[in-house]
């Protein structure tokens, strides 16, 4: 499995989808899986803007990973976000018959994120909201990255600035150098 990390606007989903399409892999977005759920109670929780319980996210992600058993490689986007999810992911590797081959952290400066999110045009993408999301991202991600490092999961930081193609070339070069493509 390849895990993409980065704040909102870093390009995780775009890069993950391009990579999946190009390589015949499966892109698994925690956010998309949650939006596609048929679980009425879960949809209600999300509609109220509340945090989805850890158990619900790991259940949905576990099912998606299991359904992808015949796919060569999986790309995880937006998961794990919390330390307990990272622990679940590493603990469940044997059950899924997969390991985390690489974590790719897309690094994008705040000013670039602001520009990208302005173009995206969501109402909640104000500079104040973006700064709050960046703060939460840092608070959540550092413990996850530290834990994965302790578990000997390879982590690489890739420059996420430039065109989609330029970033994709950097991602593919890294995967190639690690013999993952």
Which residues participate in the annotated binding site? Answer: 35, 78-81, 85, 120, 122, 133, 162
By residue count, the chain amounts to 181
Predicted confidence pLDDT, tens digits, the chain (181 residues): 999 999 888 999 999 999 999 999 999 998 889 888 888 888 777 777 777 888 889 999 999 999 999 999 999 998 998 999 999 999 999 999 999 999 999 999 999 998 888 888 777 778 888 888 888 888 999 999 999 999 999 999 999 999 999 999 999 999 999 999 8
Q: Which residues are annotated as a binding site for ATP?
A: 120, 162
Would you list which residues are annotated within the binding site for AMP?
Answer: 35, 78-81, 85, 122, 133
Residues 6+ apart with CB under 8 A from 144: 5, 80, 81, 82, 83, 85, 86
d(CA 121, CA 99): 36
Q: Report d(CA 128, CA 125) in Å as an integer.
A: 8
Report the distance separating Cα 131 and Cα 135, nearest Å. Answer: 6
Q: Which domains does the chain have, with CATH numbers?
A: 2-177 (3.40.50.300)
What is the rounded CA–CA span in Å between residue 125 and residue 116? Answer: 10
Strand-by-strand arrangement of the 26-29 sheet: 26-29, 74-77, 2-5, 102-107, 155-159
């Amino acid at each position: 499995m390849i895990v993409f990390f980065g704040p909102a606007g870093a390009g995780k989903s775009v890069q993950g989808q391009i990579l999946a399409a190009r390589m015949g892999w499966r892109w698994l977005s925690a956010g998309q899986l949650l939006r596609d759920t048929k679980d009425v109670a879960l949809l209600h929780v999300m509609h109220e803007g509340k945090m989805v319980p850890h158990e619900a996210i790991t259940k949905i992600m576990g099912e998606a990973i299991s359904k992808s058993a015949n796919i060569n490689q999986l790309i995880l986007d937006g998961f794990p976000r919390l330390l307990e999810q990272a622990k679940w992911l590493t603990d469940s590797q044997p059950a899924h018959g997969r390991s985390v081959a690489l974590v790719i952290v897309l690094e994008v400066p705040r000013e670039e994120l602001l520009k990208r999110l302005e173009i995206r045009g969501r109402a909640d993408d104000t500079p104040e909201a973006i700064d709050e999301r960046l703060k939460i991202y840092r608070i959540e991600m550092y413990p996850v990255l530290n834990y994965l490092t302790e578990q000997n999961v390879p982590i690489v930081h890739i420059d996420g600035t430039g065109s989609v193609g330029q970033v994709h070339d950097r991602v593919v070069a890294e995967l190639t150098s690690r013999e993952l493509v």
